[in-house]
Amino acid sequence: MIRPTLIVCLVLIGALERDVQAFGEGARVRIAQLRYQGGNFMPRPAALRRLAWEVAKRTSVNMAVETKVLGALDRQIFSYPILYVGGDQAFDRFSDAAIAKLRQYMSFGGMIWVDSSENRSGGGFEESIRRLTSRLFPKKKLQAVGTKHTLFKSFYLLQGMVGRVATEPEVLALELEGRLALVYGKSDLAGAWARDNFGRWEFDVHPGGDRQRELAFRWGVNLIMYALCLDYKSDQVHIPFILKRRRWQIR
């Protein structure tokens, strides 16, 4: 008598505890990766998938694990408000039409996230990125992002950027209307995330250690969270002030 009852209960509990579905794959947060001519637009092919998995496990974000690779002129680019640009060498100039499209993408709220796997400053990839940003917004320059920026606390509390290498902690960015529309890191975050099909890390981190790899993942999570929540974390400090400003009840 006990066993059937137990089974029924377990079935019921299972039914009640089932996870609700999303509004399909289209409603998930998916990272798009920019495809460009020349150079190597995908030096760490397995990295974003791994990051998406980590974000899904660590946060409440409904992440799509697979990324979408798109060209700048692809109409679908506007379905993905976060666009990852990877590379480890110089790439070709974008056409004027592509520049215009990317400019519109950023102006309307899209965020471009540039992750250099070049392992050095002043390389071909960086040169290409600087050329790209100067064409996108000629009057703006890449600026260093201070450690008090929301980017450093959008989920984890972080200091300088640490990826596969820890020698390039500086984060550069282009700011539009008070938000970071393009974030550029040179520490090869993707290099720290990439795993092969057997679950082995594809690249060693320098100087090394699990902590460094963990910090690289935290940076990935923070970047995704910033793209989704912008300055939400900075807002929290204003809440007591806002709540006190209105005397809505007689105490």
Site of interaction with another protein (CB under 8 A) = 18, 20-24, 26-27, 29, 57-62, 75, 77-79, 81, 101, 104, 108-110, 153-157, 177, 179, 214, 218, 225, 227-233, 235-236, 239, 242-243, 245-250
Residue nearer to another protein on the CB measure, 106 or 194: 106
CA 141 from centre of chain:
21
Of 56, 167, 178, 176, nearest in space to 116 by CA: 167
Residue nearer to another protein on the CB measure, 57 or 139: 57
Q: Answer whether 115's CB lies under 8 Å from 190's CB.
A: yes
Please state the closest distance from residue 15 (CB atom) to another protein, in A.
9
Q: Answer whether 87's CB lies under 8 Å from 96's CB.
A: no
Contacts of 40 (CB under 8 A, 6+ apart): 87, 88, 89, 91
Residue nearer to another protein on the CB measure, 3 or 21: 21
**At residue 52, what is the residue type?**
A
Please state the closest distance from residue 171 (CB atom) to another protein, in A.
16
Residue nearer to another protein on the CB measure, 1 or 242: 242
Please state the closest distance from residue 62 (CB atom) to another protein, in A.
6
Please state the closest distance from residue 39 (CB atom) to another protein, in A.
25
DSSP 35: E
Q: What is the C-alpha separation between 81 and 31, in angstroms, rounded?
A: 8
Residue nearer to another protein on the CB measure, 3 or 248: 248
Please state the closest distance from residue 123 (CB atom) to another protein, in A.
32
Q: How far is the CA of 98 from the CAs of 77, 112, 137, 176, 206, in angstroms?
A: 11, 14, 13, 19, 36
List, in sequence order, every residue forming a beta bridge with 73; answer none if it has no partner. none
Please state the closest distance from residue 71 (CB atom) to another protein, in A.
13
Please state the closest distance from residue 59 (CB atom) to another protein, in A.
5
- For 193, the token pair is 């995330």
Residue nearer to another protein on the CB measure, 11 or 134: 11
Q: How far is the CA of 1 from the CAs of 5, 8, 156, in angstroms?
A: 7, 11, 51
List, in sequence order, every residue forming a beta bridge with 115; answer none if it has no partner. 86, 185
Q: What is the C-alpha separation between 225 and 114, in angstroms, rounded?
A: 16
Residue nearer to another protein on the CB measure, 67 or 154: 154
